Amino acid sequence: MNLLLCTNGHPDTRPALEYGAWLAGAGRALFREVVLLGTVEKPARRPEVETLLAETERRLAEASVPYERRVLTGRPEKVIPPLVREGMLTVVGPMTPRLAWAHAFSRLLAAVETPVLHVTGAHLRLGRMLLCTGGLRYAEGVVRTGGHLARAFGATVTLLHVVEPVTLEYPVANQVKNHWSHLLETDTPQARRLREALETLKEIGVETEVRVRHGPVVHEILHEIREGEYDLVGVGSPYSARSLRRLYRPNVAVEVAEAAGRPVLIARAPTGDADERE
């Protein structure tokens, strides 16, 4: 896995750079290459970009992490995607004022096919991870990427499935709704996918447990984060597959990333793996 650490000089990207440098040092066995990217949107902003790059370079040097430094001109959502390669984890923080960032971040997620780690605060530990699966195959990306991070850092994983209140009456929905407290014991598509995720993490070598909650998706995810004191949260990308839109509102990943108070890993499903028939 490779790391791409990004800033456009906005002060809210400082925690992402600090966290990314910490990841690179603490997980050097996992990350083969580190790229430090500064995007200059306006010439007047270049000093801010250079300041944050210099701070991060010092952190990387202190951790003895080799890296490549790049400075490019343009808007982040235009500059970042062409640099992203297969197997790369992109680390970003808010690059615009918070009220405008959700829209810009959504555009970035749409353009970047590999996992993105959104950081609003430098939470420099990784012992407990929460991976929100949704129970369907689109979560394979976040399960695999989160699993490899967990193994590298010796973290434990909790798989969370939220059973959202539904008004449609059809057999699978009713079965999930009526048996949500012991969902893994059912033969629903959601339970099968949870069992597959458990098996995937077992093969990777990660200690894992399953939690099931019932209620509005974002509310329940945030409540679980607060209750479990997790160090990192993983969610499926809203651009991963049409199946995602049947259980999650399209902006769930962005809403969680903005409100979690923890680094949030957002990953698409592997191409062709979305199970749209279920």
**148-180 pLDDT tens trace:** 999 999 999 999 988 876 654 544 454 555 444
Half-sphere exposure of 257 (CA within 13 A, CB side): 28
Supply the range of the domain harboring residue 156: 128-267
In a domain, residue 242? The reply is yes
Residues 145 and 105 in one domain: no
Does a structural domain hold residue 273?
A: no
Clarify whether residues 258 and 135 are in a common domain.
yes
**Considering the chain, what percentage of its residues have pLDDT values greater than 70?**
82
- 12/105 same-domain check: yes
Whether residues 99 and 150 share a domain: the answer is no
Q: Verify that 110 and 133 share a domain, yes or no.
A: no
Among 118, 136, 167, the domain-final residue is 118
Question: Which residues on adjacent β-strands are paired with residue 34?
Answer: 3
Residues 165 and 95 in one domain: no
CA–CA distances in Å: residue 7 to residues 2, 37, 60, 72, 92:
17, 6, 15, 11, 7
Q: Would 275 be classed as within a structural domain?
A: no
Residue 213 and residue 261 in one domain: yes
pLDDT at 190: 72
Give dist(CA 70, CA 93) in Å, integer: 18
Judged by DSSP in three states, 167 sits in coil
Overall residue count recorded for the chain in this entry: 278
Alpha helices in 3-137 (DSSP H): 14-26, 46-62, 76-83, 98-111
Mean pLDDT of residues grouped by 10 in the chain (278 residues)?
A: 97 97 94 96 96 98 96 94 94 91 89 94 92 73 93 95 65 48 62 84 94 88 93 81 43 88 88 43
Q: Is the dihedral of CA 214, 217, 222, 225 positive or negative?
A: positive
- Dihedral Cα 4, 157, 143, 231, nearest 10 deg: -30
Domain boundary pick from 83, 118, 153:
118
Beta-strand pair 208-214/156-163: parallel
* Mean pLDDT over each residue of the chain, to the nearest integer: 85
On whether residue 278 sits in a domain, the answer given is no
**Gap between the Cα atoms of 43 and 263, Å rounded:** 30
pTM: 0.87
Tokens linked to 275: 């199970």
Domain boundary among 96, 118, 140: 118
Q: Which residues contact residue 58 at a Cβ distance below 8 angstroms, ignoring those fewer than 6 apart?
A: none
Residue 276 lies in a domain: no
Count: domains in the chain: 2
Same domain, 63 and 147: no
Residues in Cβ contact with 18 at an 8 Å cutoff, skipping those fewer than 6 apart: 56, 59, 122, 124
Which residue type, as a one-letter code, is found at position 25? G
Q: Are both 132 and 261 inside the same structural domain?
A: yes
Q: Are residues 171 and 195 in the same domain?
A: yes
CATH code at 233?
3.40.50.620
Lookup: tokens for 30: 């996992």
